[in-house]
Structure 1
Amino acid sequence: MTRAIWRGGISFGLVYVPVQIYPATTTRHTSFSLLDKHSIDPIGYRQINKRTGKEVARENIVRGFEYEKGKYVVLDDDEIRAANPESTQTVDILAFVDASEISFLYLDTPYYLVPERRGEKTYALLRDALSSTGRIGIASVVLHSKQHLAALVAAGGMLALDTLRWSDEVRPLDGLRLPDERASKTGVTARELDMAKKLIDDMTTAWNPDDYHDTFHDKILALVDRKIREGKTREVGTIEASAAPSTRQTAEIVDLSELLRRSLGRRNAKGGESAGDETGPAELSSPRSKRRATSSVRRSSQRTTSPRSRRA
């Protein structure tokens, strides 16, 4: 486990829980360095004036806030530091809300909260109280000299802090083309909705994050490893693209009901029933069977989705 990035406490009412904050995630980028093709020398970053194309010395670079297009207010480092929020080393809980009220759109970065010595009892009290009530603490906290809104949650046997986006950081839905929430306006029938629910139920499985992988990252690492073993550490190579999945004309599926029926039929066939049986999906208890069926449904969806609908 990495070292704690912050030591302080959680404050709500007159209760104070001394805690340490640890990063809960690790960032993994499939990054590539820019190189000179001929010498394989790294290509460095240069500070260039975007208008003149000339390099600017570091001492001649200042910070500016663009208040209108092309118009700036210059701020010096002392002015910026004075505006920074005071680091109080406290997760100050402002309110409690029902867990279901927090949209996934607002979730940002998670952190682990670990109790300091002699703080175990109050830590456990807050954790158990949140867990039993189904509530989340909405808090203010300063991390890395930046003020954050955050959600304090009970996550199994521990407390976690998830920074939240501010309300103006989540774009409004204005201007987005969305189907009407009334079924009578979308043309969705009760039968189609029932089949969709059955398909969702049949594809439902326990969440296991280890079942999912960044395949692009894995393939790049495998390619790099192979080139190293072959002594091809300076050659410029290409990655062979995977064979594109076969496609069919979209006219083959006449409507949404037919697509749902075929999706359920495919799952019935994998469960040992005939594809033409419309009595409902077979019970699939095996996660492997569910994953195979998920791939079938995805392929079916790809065959019946036009480029225009994918862009919508």
Structure 2
Amino acid sequence: MARAKEDEGKAPTSTRTMWKGAISFGLVHIPVGLYSATVSSGVDFDWLDKRSMEPVGYKRVNKVTGKEIAAADIVKGIEYEDGHYVVLTPEEIAAAYPKITQTIEIETFLDADEIPFVYLERPYYTAPLKRGEKVYALLREALRQSNKVGVAKVVIQTRQHLAVLIPCGPALILNLLRWGGEIRSFEQLNLPPLDAKAAGIKPAEMDMALQLIEDMTQAWDADAFRNSFALEIHKLVESKVAAGETATVVKVDSAREGAPAGADVLDLTALLKRSLEGKGAGAAPRGKAAASVTPLPAARKVTAKAAAKKIPAKKTATRKAPGRRAA
């Protein structure tokens, strides 16, 4: 009954495996699948030609001449100073990509409350595969009882991520983290001192604030916080569908490649003993995995300005096919 109430209002579970591999710590490997833990509540509008109801995409346009150019004439460059770029070839970019491994390599364990919330980026569910339930439960319960989380590196779709494994109910959550250096400092902001007395707060003011917080405190209910704009748009769409105010648009489906299989589970007791016998036994696999990952190019730190500037994300030339659910 409690579980039914907990799941009420939540999006259905995603059972489509996004990634298959293994969680690794010491010499222990836990075969797992990765599943999406979130669903966007935003509204995604597709561009359509109102004359023919055909999808409208983006063009590759030279921003100076305004003319469309061919994909073969496009190169990728990184601005290291104002107006000055370093052009990289596809081969150089490919060489900098981290080697694709199917391992969530735990590098260290931390206290659960030690990672600031500002570093958390995107959560995924993990679930055991190929008779890995026992060792999966072992890691989950060990983390829960020790109040620890595992910090790991993982490569998903050619991109390397820093992540943290967090026990959450019966699941282990893989929450992607922002890298060190991606969080801006707040040192230059005009912030009050980190002390009530130093900030000029009177004891009576603090007491009233604490009382107000206590009066407004309630149990967490995620379903009570919804994207109101998305809800209104969904209602509008439903009313137009009911009234027959719809249009047919050609859909284009993109094929998705299947993920490779995960690792096998070896004898758990033996692996745990070997991992505990000495750091040397457990360090070899970790060092091997770390060596297979190519670090970010040093060219990004040519100048202090380049290091501080956020490199824009890659833009796709063609707009994603329409027909997606507006949520």
TM (norm. structure 1) is 0.70
1:98 aligns with 2:125: no
Deviations 1:33-69 (A, max 9, x none): 3355666655431111111111111111111122222
CA–CA distance in structure 1, aligned partners of residues 45 and 57 of structure 2? 13
What's the offset of the Cα at 1:176?
A: 1.2
Q: What amino acid sits opposite 1:171 in the alignment?
A: R
1:71 aligns with 2:105: no
1:189 equivalent among 202, 214, 219: 202
2:123, 2:174 within 8 Å by CA — same for their partners in 1?
yes
**Structure 2 counterpart of 1:134:** 147
Bigger drift between 168-177 and 130-139 goes to 168-177
Q: Give SS of 2:136's match.
A: helix
1:202 aligns with 2:204: no
**Structure 2 counterpart of 1:89:** 102
Q: What amino acid sits opposite 1:105 in the alignment?
A: V
Q: 1:119 to 1:36 in 2, by over 3 A?
A: closer
The residue correspondences of 1:1-312 to structure 2 (distance < 5 A) are 1-35=14-48, 42-230=55-243
Q: 1:19 to 1:186 in 2, by over 3 A?
A: same
**Structure 1 counterpart of 2:274:** none
Bigger RCO of structures 1 and 2 (CA < 8 A, at least 6 apart): 2
Percentage of pairs with the same residue: 49
2:41, 2:230 within 8 Å by CA — same for their partners in 1?
no
Deviations 1:200-231 (A, max 9, x none): 11211111111121111111121233334445
Q: 1:200 to 1:77 in 2, by over 3 A?
A: same
Deviations 1:102-133 (A, max 9, x none): 11100011111111122111111110000001
What's the offset of the Cα at 1:161?
A: 0.5
Q: 1:182 to 1:217 in 2, by over 3 A?
A: same
What's the offset of the Cα at 1:90?
A: 0.7
What's the offset of the Cα at 1:88?
A: 1.6
2:32, 2:128 within 8 Å by CA — same for their partners in 1?
yes
What's the offset of the Cα at 1:142?
A: 0.7
Q: 1:16 to 1:36 in 2, by over 3 A?
A: closer
Q: Give SS of 1:201's match.
A: helix
CA–CA distance in structure 1, aligned partners of residues 100 and 57 of structure 2? 35
Q: Give SS of 1:168's match.
A: coil
Bigger drift between 107-116 and 23-32 goes to 23-32
Specify every segment of 5 or more residues in structure 1 that has no aligned partner in the other structure, as ranges.
235-312
Specify every segment of 5 or more residues in structure 2 that has no aligned partner in the other structure, as ranges.
1-13, 248-327
What's the offset of the Cα at 1:185?
A: 3.2
CA–CA distance in structure 2, aligned partners of residues 18 and 231 of structure 1? 49
- Structure index of larger Rg: 1
Deviations 1:64-115 (A, max 9, x none): 1222222222222222111111112111111111011111100011111111
Q: 1:46 to 1:96 in 2, by over 3 A?
A: same
CA–CA distance in structure 2, aligned partners of residues 30 and 187 of structure 1? 44
Q: What amino acid sits opposite 1:168 in the alignment?
A: G
What's the offset of the Cα at 1:17?
A: 1.3
Q: What amino acid sits opposite 1:198 in the alignment?
A: Q
What's the offset of the Cα at 1:194?
A: 1.2
CA RMSD of the aligned region, Å?
1.9
What's the offset of the Cα at 1:164?
A: 0.3
CA–CA distance in structure 2, aligned partners of residues 106 and 179 of structure 1? 23
CA–CA distance in structure 1, aligned partners of residues 113 and 39 of structure 2? 27
**Structure 2 counterpart of 1:261:** none
Deviations 1:226-284 (A, max 9, x none): 334445558xxxxxxxxxxxxxxxxxxxxxxxxxxxxxxxxxxxxxxxxxxxxxxxxxx
Q: 1:79 to 1:104 in 2, by over 3 A?
A: same
